[in-house]
């Protein structure tokens, strides 16, 4: 990268991506000396870009907080991805963001070049995005507060309603929020129960950020925790089945379905919780393997109903097409 203009744009891109960056880091990335880095900063300031600097060997630089991204740094693909991402918020249960989404898209439309506005219009006109039936809407305010508390290392309090409808008050040290299986989950150390707990965020109310501080475990892995605990998060039905499928194959087939898998008797024992059984039963049947149901009894009834529906569908004959009357005058 020997073009000075491209180097200046690279500096701007780095400043936008990071809270601050030292002169030495920029010099190493651009393969120039510190004096040249300083000249690039002067050039950015000449272009009315608000670069702030701190004293010291090499200095550190950052963009003034709140500075807006220049449109020239968005490619066509980036504009399309940004528009698609904003319009996909309902897919993760955040339909309450709709006004903010529309406002952000209008602002983008005003500042983007015409070629990039076309990417936004493409998403609006030809891409249909609808949430699945299993997506549960969640309070945007609670999500923002929980995420803010995690970042600031502050404890939170909230009212919680369990799956059985039992109310309780919780005081926790929040570690992470995570979206999976159509729901948002809040993970943290419950000071009431003295243990790590997972809460459905849509069952949380009256969430308040407290003054107490804590230090989040540096090695905490939200995805790994959910993989271990998700199968047993409280649900309407506790499912326990055996399927004639090797464990390795089951791991590949059932990975997105938040289940616990265990090798047993030449097959795999599958355990999980479910609020609805129809979709899970259909998924098991689609594997084409022998299945043994341990529990619940309702799953056997669901299999029976699916069998009756399949039998009716297999025996149904196509109806002859109805003749359409012509609307034209004779």
* Opening angle at CA 270, ends 264 and 273, nearest 5: 150
Q: Is the pLDDT of residue 289 over 50?
A: yes
CA distances from 278 to 153, 237, 309 (A): 41, 12, 12
For residues 53 and 60, give the distance between their C-alpha atoms in angstroms, rounded to a whole number: 6
Q: What is the pLDDT of residue 320?
A: 58
* Choice among 43-47, 51-55, 111-115, 305-309 with the minimum mean pLDDT: 111-115
Q: What is the pLDDT of residue 327?
A: 40
201, 185 Cβ separation under 8 angstroms:
yes
Q: What is the pLDDT of residue 134?
A: 63
Q: What is the pLDDT of residue 211?
A: 87
* Choice among 31-35, 64-68, 129-133, 189-193 with the minimum mean pLDDT: 129-133
CA distances from 280 to 256, 270, 286, 295 (A): 12, 11, 10, 13
For residues 302 and 283, give the distance between their C-alpha atoms in angstroms, rounded to a whole number: 12
- The mean pLDDT value for 52-70 works out to 72
Contacts of residue 279, Cβ cutoff 8 Å, sequence gap at least 6: 134
Give the pLDDT confidence of 208-242 residue by residue, as tens digits. Answer: 999 889 999 988 998 888 777 665 566 778 899 99
DSSP characters for 200-245? Answer: EGGGEEEEEEEEEE----TT--HHHHHHHHGGGS--SEEEEEEESS
Give the pLDDT confidence of 248-271 residue by residue, as tens digits. Answer: 999 888 865 677 888 999 999 998
**Highest mean pLDDT: which of 7-11, 79-83, 208-212?**
208-212
Tokens representing 118?
């076309």
Q: What is the pLDDT of residue 330?
A: 35
Reported pTM: 0.55
DSSP H stretches of helix in the chain: 4-17, 23-30, 34-46, 76-87, 98-111, 114-126, 140-152, 222-229, 247-254, 278-286, 297-315
Give the pLDDT confidence of 146-177 residue by residue, as tens digits. Answer: 998 998 899 999 999 987 788 999 999 999 99
Tokens representing 109?
């439309």
Domains (range + CATH), the chain: 4-63 (1.10.10.10), 75-126 (no CATH), 140-222 (2.30.30.520), 235-315 (3.30.70.250)
Q: DSSP secondary-structure letter at 232?
A: G
Q: Is the pLDDT of residue 180 over 90?
A: no
For residues 123 and 101, give the distance between their C-alpha atoms in angstroms, rounded to a whole number: 13
Q: Is the pLDDT of residue 74 over 50?
A: yes
For residues 162 and 193, give the distance between their C-alpha atoms in angstroms, rounded to a whole number: 14
Tokens representing 247?
């464990």
């Amino acid at each position: 990268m020997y073009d000075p203009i491209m180097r200046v744009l690279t500096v701007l891109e780095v400043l936008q991506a990071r809270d601050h960056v030292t002169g030495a880091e920029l010099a190493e990335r651009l393969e120039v000396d510190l004096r040249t880095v300083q000249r690039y900063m002067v050039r950015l300031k000449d272009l009315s870009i608000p670069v702030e600097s701190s004293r010291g060997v090499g200095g550190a630089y950052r963009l003034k907080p709140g500075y807006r991204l220049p449109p020239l740094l968005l490619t066509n693909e980036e504009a399309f991805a940004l528009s698609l991402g904003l319009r996909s918020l309902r897919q993760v249960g955040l339909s309450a963001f709709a006004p903010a989404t529309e406002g952000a898209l209008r602002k983008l439309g005003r500042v983007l070049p015409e070629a990039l506005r076309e990417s936004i219009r493409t998403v609006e006109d030809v891409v249909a995005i609808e949430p699945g039936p299993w997506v549960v809407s969640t309070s945007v305010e609670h999500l923002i507060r929980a995420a803010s508390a995690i970042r600031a290392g502050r404890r939170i309090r909230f009212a919680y309603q369990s799956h059985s409808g039992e109310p309780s008050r919780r005081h926790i040290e929040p570690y992470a929020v995570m979206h999976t299986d159509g729901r948002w989950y809040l993970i943290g150390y419950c000071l009431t129960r003295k243990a790590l707990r997972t809460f459905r965020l849509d069952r949380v109310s009256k969430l308040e950020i407290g003054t107490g501080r804590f230090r989040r475990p540096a090695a905490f892995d939200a995805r790994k925790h959910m993989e271990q605990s998700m199968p047993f998060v409280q649900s309407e039905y506790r499912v326990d089945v055996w399927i004639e499928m090797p464990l390795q194959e089951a791991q590949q087939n059932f990975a997105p379905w938040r289940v616990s898998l265990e090798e047993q008797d030449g097959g795999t024992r599958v355990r999980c919780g479910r609020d609805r059984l129809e979709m899970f039963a259909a998924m098991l049947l689609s594997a084409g393997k022998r299945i043994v149901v341990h529990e619940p009894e309702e799953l056997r009834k669901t299999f029976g109903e699916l069998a009756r529906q399949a039998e009716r569908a297999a025996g149904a004959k196509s109806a002859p097409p109805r003749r359409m009357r012509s609307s034209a005058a004779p």
